[in-house]
Amino acid sequence: MIARKALQFLVCFSFLAGALLGAVPRAERGEQVSISPSPARPQPKGSRTSNKRTDAQIRKCLWKKNEAKRLRRKNARENHAQFYRKVDNLADLPQTSFAGDLNDYKLALDRQKNFCKAPKGVPASVKIGDCQLSSDQWCNQMTETFMKAIDDDKSKTLAEFASLIRTRFDWYELQGSNGSKGVQETGYYTPVIEASRKKTDEYSVPIYGKPPELVHVSFPGDVAVANHWRVKNANGQYVKYYTRQEIENGKIPRELAIAYVKDLPTLIDLQIEGSGQFVIHEPDGKGLTTSFLGYAAENSQPNNMPASIMDCMGYDPSTWSTQRRILDYFKQHPDEIKKIMRFDPSYVFYQEQKGGPYGMGQIQLTKDVSLASNPRILPTGLTVLYTAQELNKDTGKVEEVSRVGIPQDRGGAVNFSVDRYRGEGATGFALSESLNVHGRLFIPVPKNCPAVASAPTVVASGVSPGTSPSAPPGPAASSAPAAAPASPAAPPAAVSNPEVPAALAPQTQSRSSSADAPQKNPSL
């Protein structure tokens, strides 16, 4: 879920942060906002501005973007109900022109059965308008109703299926983050990457597995979608792990590398998307194998997307306005990559997986059905109906298309939008890159759903409040740039300390391919 969205929302929401913070620049990675460059940049295409900026100015610019993101998160938490409008007229729901295949939708439902038996990484309940839904309601009971509409009622098309469920539920429409009608639909994909098990002259950039000392922790007041990885230092404190720059400079052992890719742009693309399919050159002439690499952990350092960094550094927008342009620029100017990426201290660690690609809770993704969402806004596993203006390749005209989708992936960047999974490789990339349209999204809830005054407190898996005196306090919101967190002081061997509480045992957690926050970053 896991990043990409900021790239696709650069233009569409260029005034959002301005409305929140006046002159404060737009928020960073992990939010559906735009990054509007300063108008005073009459530079040739692909060049850098002559207005050279100091490191302090760049960091301040990035901090302001992240502060804008924090304020939007705060607004979303405090004004959650305003983002749902009760649908009083069923004629507002999608009626015709359904795209997709009913069999694909049924396959997607089937793929989430194991997840729904014991949902992890999502809130125990979500409030949709005035309706409080438990995870059992939306993931099991309602899914059973959807399956009956297919099997018992003999639906043959998505349009027939939608017609049946239209009258069996009450409906809410998801509003935009500014309260306006409609949401944005974008796409993401799984890159197919060549790699080698061993380092060679051609394959020299490592992809690291999870360091054994990293553990998943929870802070008091966390919700289930919170994501914190820490390491215990020599003083017994749980601190953030090494930064990207420290990792690239050899702070962790090379033995943790599970594969090697050809160049840094390939690794950056993987980390933006969150996971990838690998064609691996096996050692000793054993040929090629195909494998999926998915999210295993992260260093929990601040996330700064390349687009935001390049904007703050003064690069011409033509170099960073889309992910393709960023990757092309990096390949053409390899000497500038580390100069840019040193302002993104975040780093993702991977694990090899059978099958895939996977979203939340090892749900295998289904092309054009699976959606990445913020699980506090669109519950993971709940079928939704949505419409969007899309280009009809046969007629060349833009037409309204209706779809049935299921949020099965997590993306910190998709708070008031949907990020549709578009497949793998070059085709998936082209389809996802071209998808950036406006539409409307409708959420079903049980009829006469009882209203609940407030949602129950939910704590993420890991250290619950009060269970461990060594758990760090919750991070406080700061009105000024925070000092860089301490790096781990102890060598890896010291982290296998038996004093680590049992509740801090390392956990496996799936990561989305979604975007600007390649599921690299937590949701709200």
More confident residue, 455 or 349: 349
Higher pLDDT, 206 or 321: 206
**pLDDT average, residue stretch 322-334:** 90
Residue 87 has a pLDDT of: 92
- The pLDDT of residue 148 is above 80: yes
**How confident is the model over 316-345, as a mean pLDDT?**
91
Rounded-to-integer distance, Cα 367 and Cα 107, Å? 10
Q: What is the pLDDT of residues 89-110, one digit of tens each?
A: 999 999 878 999 999 999 999 9
Distance CA 520, CA 288 (A): 28
Q: What is the pLDDT of residue 217?
A: 84
Provide the pLDDT for residue 248.
92
Nearest to 293 by CA among 353, 248, 226: 353
pLDDT number for residue 517: 33
Residue 510 has pLDDT above 70, yes or no: no
On the question of pLDDT at 227 being above 60, the answer is: yes
**What are the structure tokens assigned to 226, written together?**
């919170």
Confidence of residue 177 (pLDDT cuts 50, 70, 90): low
What type of residue is 232? K
Looking at residue 365, its amino acid is L
pLDDT confidence of residue 457: 35
pLDDT of res. 503: 32
Class of domain 5-69+188-358: mainly beta
Contacts 24+ apart (CB under 8 A), 37-41: 37/311, 37/317, 41/314, 41/316, 41/317
pLDDT at 48: 54
Give pLDDT tens digits for 418-470. Answer: 889 999 888 888 888 878 888 899 999 999 886 654 433 333 333 332 333 23
Q: Using pLDDT thresholds of 50, 70 and 90, give the confidence band for residue 415.
A: low
Quick one: what percent of the chain has pLDDT higher than 70?
71
- Is pLDDT above 50 for 19? no
Q: Give mean pLDDT, residues 308-326.
A: 91
Instruction: Return the minimum-mean-pLDDT range out of 203-207, 219-223, 315-319, 465-469.
Output: 465-469
- Domain range summary for the chain, segments of one domain joined by +: 5-69+188-358, 80-186+366-445
Residue 160 pLDDT > 70: yes
227 in Cβ contact with 170 (< 8 Å)? no
Question: With bands split at pLDDT 50, 70 and 90, how would you rate the model's confidence at 410?
Answer: confident
**382 DSSP 8-state letter:** -
Opening angle at CA 134, ends 131 and 138, nearest 5: 85
Write the pLDDT tens digit of every residue in 31-77: 333 333 433 444 444 445 445 789 999 999 999 998 988 887 777 66
Over 50: is that where the pLDDT of 25 sits?
no
Confidence check: pLDDT of 111 > 50: yes
Q: Which pLDDT score is estimated for 62?
A: 94
Class of CATH domain 80-186+366-445: mainly beta
pLDDT score recorded for residue 107 = 95
DSSP-assigned letters across all residues of 294-316: EEEEE--PPP--HHHHHHHHTB-
Q: Which secondary-structure segment (H or E) carries 342?
A: none
pLDDT on residue 186: 87
pTM (predicted TM-score)? 0.70
Range of lowest pLDDT (108-122, 290-304, 449-463): 449-463
- The tokens describing 155, both together, are 């639906």
How many whole angstroms separate alpha carbon 17 and alpha carbon 69?
A: 8
Opening angle at CA 239, ends 236 and 244, nearest 5: 140
CA separation for the pair 209, 259 (Å, rounded)? 9
If you count them, how many residues does the chain have? 524
Of 256-270, 276-290, 364-378, the range with the lowest mean pLDDT is: 276-290
Mean pLDDT of the chain: 75
Q: List 389's β-bridge partners, or say none.
A: 400
Q: What is the pLDDT of residues 387-408, one digit of tens each?
A: 987 777 777 787 888 999 999 9
